[in-house]
Chain A
Amino acid sequence: MSGTGPFRALLVSRLREFYREPEALFWVYGFPVLLAIGLGIAFRERPPEQVRIDVLGAPVGDDAALRTLQADPRFQARACAGGECAQRLRLGRTDLVVVPGAQGFEFRFDPTRPESVLARARTEDALQRAAGRADPVKVEEQPVTQPGSRYIDFLIPGLLGMNLMGGGLWGIGFVLVDMRVRKLLKRLVATPMRRSDFLLAMMGSRILFMLPEVALLLAAGALLFHVRVQGSLLAVLAVSLLGAVSFAGLGLFVACRAQKIETVSGLMNVVMLPMWLLSGIFFSSERFPAALQPAIQALPLTLLNEALRAVILEGASLSSQAIRLGGLALWGAVSFVLALRWFRWS
């Protein structure tokens, strides 16, 4: 007779509003997958790269060096004239210029370019061996390239963390301020609605939106790039759940007083931008100076990303991540409590 309970009615309303918003669907579900595909392709594995060598004067003069290098598949060697060589070296079209001389060779290269340094070492090695150098120690090469250590493996957990952060902040913070601007929050508290029902429904909606988010990204990684989850899926889900709830708390906190969309957008950028940069989404946070590390490691997104990487890439157990997960939960709990204390309904 009396229809559904308030918590369920609020949750269902929130879900309806969300799936009827195609832009929101794209940013939450489509964009991270596209980003993973784009970056996965850009940083895909390539066959071992050749080094590019120009040999000055050949084939007019002595072309023994040129022939040696051309015979080796690791080199892409060509002959060129003096002016042209200098030009190509300056423009980075060749890594190294070999100048054959009476006594030996002169190498011209830019020592600050890693590929030139590599070219120098390889070229010298090849030319010395061709000239009859005998190596006193035998070295064998065993190439190792396997899933788990590639860029895409690093990237997928980072994108997952980034998405959980964005979803919590935008999905809670932005929506709340929008409702405040529309005076819808005020209208709701003018009814007998319990405020806790409302906030729990917001949290519940975040958890429901999070499930397809995680599934899509992991599935895209697995199907397109063979990214394997080493740990248990349940552990990944548990870490994601904690991340979603903690960032929802942070979103609630950011939105607790703002009365304009512009204000809350600015605040959210202030919160998110440092974490995009520092928390190891696209590259490891260890690249930053050691003095900054304690602060960086305490950021909620760093905690989440590190825990996700440990579980997904290393197969770590939840208990081994207890400190990180505890830190993340603390962020969520503190911001949730502060948000409730300062929350403005009208």
Chain B
Amino acid sequence: MPAGSAGVAIRCSGLHKRFVSRSSTVDAVNGLDLEVRSGECFGLLGPNGAGKTTTIEILEGLLAPTSGEVEVLGSRWESHPDQLRQRIGISLQETRFAEKLSVRETLELFRSFYRRGLSPEEAMAQVSLQEKSGAWVGKLSGGQRQRLAVACALIGDPELLFLDEPTTGLDPQSRRSLWDILRELRARGRTILVTTHYMDEAERLCDRVAIVDAGKVIALGSPAELVARLGGEHVVEFALDATAKGIGEAEYRALPGVSGVRIHPDGVALTVTEPHITVPALLERLQRERLALARLATRHVSLEDVFVELTGRNLRDEAASAA
């Protein structure tokens, strides 16, 4: 894309952020390049500690990078901070709003900071919180609070929306209702930058995804493109009886239709193009070796598999151990 094109909402290059404390030096962001196009929903995906929040806070102008270039909506934070603040909306990772103010009062407060924007009613309608208008924030459920956070991000009618882990800690139903809200915003032409450590969320919401690990982008593309890189669209997962040794990786790879093999302590995952050909061949092979199956499942390839393929680590485990 040519430089200075109007179609770019965020551009950053060579982004570095180093945190120095008495006991340690951490490079939270380590040479990160990114380009978010206007009107797209862009996902920053990675495990906890990958540098997603540091990156998004630099882009939001809340943190200064140690080095690197940042351009948001064609301006720089150093030169136009006030103007940029009027044009973007932000939802931080976990903000606890004043408990004893109502939803409407909270939105009125945030509205007062912007020159133009939505009315509190409009913002509540966009996140379906109208019936909680008079309720104190302290009485809201987790999902409702998160929707309030999004409403506060929307109150200035921003061109660009930053959402840091908007669904972390929510129940499945609340997550889905928040996804609907974000899809609708994108349909209205807003640019959205969202961070998440949920692969399924990125797959469902985002036009493009950057997978971040150790402060760098290690893969970039649409969810479909990233998944296609694995060579197959399906995963066959199985485990043998605890006593069985199994057969070698090369032998699994030799089965018809197998494009990838991953052996981990809990079992084996095969990336395949056509499960209906591979599964019978696998079963026949195991029977010949007199190996008993403990479980067998097939599913579509997900970004989760992409992450494991790229890093050799399991995203879900890391999210759990960090939580």
- B is a partner of A: yes
Interface set, chain B 71-126, CB cutoff 8 A to A: 82, 85-86, 90, 92, 94-98, 100-101, 105, 108-116
What range describes how many residues of B lie at the interface? 20 to 34
Kindly provide the distance from the CB of A69 to the nearest chain B CB, expressed in whole angstroms: 67
Please report the C-alpha to C-alpha distance between residue A289 and residue B110 in the assembled complex, in whole angstroms.
Answer: 54
Please report the C-alpha to C-alpha distance between residue A20 and residue B101 in the assembled complex, in whole angstroms.
Answer: 9
Please report the C-alpha to C-alpha distance between residue A17 and residue B96 in the assembled complex, in whole angstroms.
Answer: 14
Contact B101 A191 (CB under 8 A): no
Residues of B within 8 A of A169 (CB): none
Kindly provide the distance from the CB of B151 to the nearest chain A CB, expressed in whole angstroms: 13
Kindly provide the distance from the CB of A126 to the nearest chain B CB, expressed in whole angstroms: 67
Contact A192 B105 (CB under 8 A): no
Kindly provide the distance from the CB of A192 to the nearest chain B CB, expressed in whole angstroms: 4
User: Which residue from B85, B98, B108 sits with its C-beta under 8 Å from A184?
Assistant: B98
Kindly provide the distance from the CB of B142 to the nearest chain A CB, expressed in whole angstroms: 15
Residues of A within 8 A of B113 (CB): 6, 191-193
User: Which residue from A2, A13, A16, A186 sits with its C-beta under 8 Å from B92?
Assistant: A186
Contact A186 B62 (CB under 8 A): yes
- The answer to whether residues A3 and B108 also contact, given A184-B97, A187-B92, A191-B113 and a CB cut-off of 8 A, is yes
Judge if B232 is at the interface, Cβ distance under 8 Å.
Answer: no
Specify the chain A residue showing the minimal Cβ separation from B82: A192
Residues of B within 8 A of A183 (CB): 92, 94-96
Contact A13 B105 (CB under 8 A): yes
Interface set, chain B 152-171, CB cutoff 8 A to A: 152, 156
Residues of B within 8 A of A9 (CB): 108-109, 111-112
Please report the C-alpha to C-alpha distance between residue A21 and residue B111 in the assembled complex, in whole angstroms.
Answer: 24
Contact A190 B90 (CB under 8 A): yes
Judge if A146 is at the interface, Cβ distance under 8 Å.
Answer: no
Kindly provide the distance from the CB of A214 to the nearest chain B CB, expressed in whole angstroms: 25
Residues of B within 8 A of A6 (CB): 112-113
Contact B112 A4 (CB under 8 A): yes
Interface set, chain A 142-197, CB cutoff 8 A to B: 182-184, 186-187, 189-193
Residues of B within 8 A of A5 (CB): 112
Judge if A281 is at the interface, Cβ distance under 8 Å.
Answer: no
Judge if A317 is at the interface, Cβ distance under 8 Å.
Answer: no
Specify the chain B residue showing the minimal Cβ separation from A191: B113
Please report the C-alpha to C-alpha distance between residue A97 and residue B115 in the assembled complex, in whole angstroms.
Answer: 87
User: Which residue from A2, A20, A182, A190 sits with its C-beta under 8 Å from B62?
Assistant: A190
What's the count of A-B pairs with C-beta under 8 Å? Answer: 71
User: Which residue from B86, B110, B115, B152 sits with its C-beta under 8 Å from A2?
Assistant: B115
Specify the chain B residue showing the minimal Cβ separation from A192: B85
Contact A191 B85 (CB under 8 A): yes
Residues of B within 8 A of A66 (CB): none
User: Which residue from B92, B101, B115 sits with its C-beta under 8 Å from A190?
Assistant: B92
Majority secondary structure, A binding face? loop
Please report the C-alpha to C-alpha distance between residue A187 and residue B111 in the assembled complex, in whole angstroms.
Answer: 13
Contact A182 B95 (CB under 8 A): yes
Judge if B60 is at the interface, Cβ distance under 8 Å.
Answer: yes
Residues of B within 8 A of A20 (CB): 100, 136
Contact A13 B114 (CB under 8 A): no
Contact A346 B62 (CB under 8 A): yes
Specify the chain A residue showing the minimal Cβ separation from B62: A190
Judge if A248 is at the interface, Cβ distance under 8 Å.
Answer: no
Judge if A10 is at the interface, Cβ distance under 8 Å.
Answer: yes
Number of interface residues of A (CB under 8 A): 24
Specify the chain A residue showing the minimal Cβ separation from B85: A192
As a 0/1 sequence over residues 40 to 75 of chain A, the CB contacts with chain B under 8 angstroms (1 = contact) are 000000000000000000000000000000000000
Kindly provide the distance from the CB of B87 to the nearest chain A CB, expressed in whole angstroms: 9
User: Which residue from A3, A8, A184 sits with its C-beta under 8 Å from B111?
Assistant: A3
Contact A192 B95 (CB under 8 A): no
User: Which residue from B85, B101, B116, B156 sits with its C-beta under 8 Å from A16?
Assistant: B101
Specify the chain A residue showing the minimal Cβ separation from B111: A3
Please report the C-alpha to C-alpha distance between residue A17 and residue B112 in the assembled complex, in whole angstroms.
Answer: 17
Please report the C-alpha to C-alpha distance between residue A59 and residue B126 in the assembled complex, in whole angstroms.
Answer: 98
Interface set, chain B 122-152, CB cutoff 8 A to A: 136, 152
Contact B96 A182 (CB under 8 A): yes
Contact B96 A192 (CB under 8 A): no
Contact A187 B95 (CB under 8 A): yes
Residues of B within 8 A of A10 (CB): 109, 112
User: Which residue from A8, A16, A192 sits with its C-beta under 8 Å from B100?
Assistant: A16
Please report the C-alpha to C-alpha distance between residue A113 and residue B100 in the assembled complex, in whole angstroms.
Answer: 57
Contact B85 A13 (CB under 8 A): no
Residues of A within 8 A of B94 (CB): 183
Kindly provide the distance from the CB of A200 to the nearest chain B CB, expressed in whole angstroms: 14
Specify the chain A residue showing the minimal Cβ separation from B112: A9
Kindly provide the distance from the CB of A68 to the nearest chain B CB, expressed in whole angstroms: 71
Most chain B beta-carbon neighbours within 10 Å: one of A9, A191, A193: A191
Contact B98 A17 (CB under 8 A): yes
As a 0/1 sequence over residues 30 to 49 of chain B, the CB contacts with chain A under 8 angstroms (1 = contact) are 00000000000000000000
Contact B108 A189 (CB under 8 A): no
Please report the C-alpha to C-alpha distance between residue A20 and residue B139 in the assembled complex, in whole angstroms.
Answer: 14
Specify the chain B residue showing the minimal Cβ separation from A193: B113
As a 0/1 sequence over residues 113 to 137 of chain A, the CB contacts with chain B under 8 angstroms (1 = contact) are 0000000000000000000000000
Please report the C-alpha to C-alpha distance between residue A3 and residue B156 in the assembled complex, in whole angstroms.
Answer: 13
Please report the C-alpha to C-alpha distance between residue A191 and residue B114 in the assembled complex, in whole angstroms.
Answer: 8
Residues of B within 8 A of A191 (CB): 85, 90, 110, 113-114, 156
Specify the chain A residue showing the minimal Cβ separation from B107: A3
9 residue pairs A–B, Cβ–Cβ below 8 Å: A6-B112, A17-B98, A17-B100, A21-B100, A183-B94, A184-B98, A190-B60, A191-B156, A192-B86
4 closest pairs, A vs B, by CB? A9-B112, A182-B96, A192-B85, A20-B100
Using CB atoms and an 8 Å cutoff, list the residues of chain A in contact with chain B.
2-6, 8-10, 13, 16-17, 20-21, 182-184, 186-187, 189-193, 346
Using CB atoms and an 8 Å cutoff, list the residues of chain B in contact with chain A.
60, 62, 82, 85-86, 90, 92, 94-98, 100-101, 105, 108-116, 136, 152, 156
Sample of 16 more A-B contacts, CB < 8 Å, known A10-B112, A192-B114: A2-B115, A3-B108, A6-B112, A9-B109, A16-B105, A21-B100, A182-B96, A184-B95, A186-B62, A187-B95, A187-B152, A190-B60, A190-B62, A191-B85, A191-B90, A192-B115
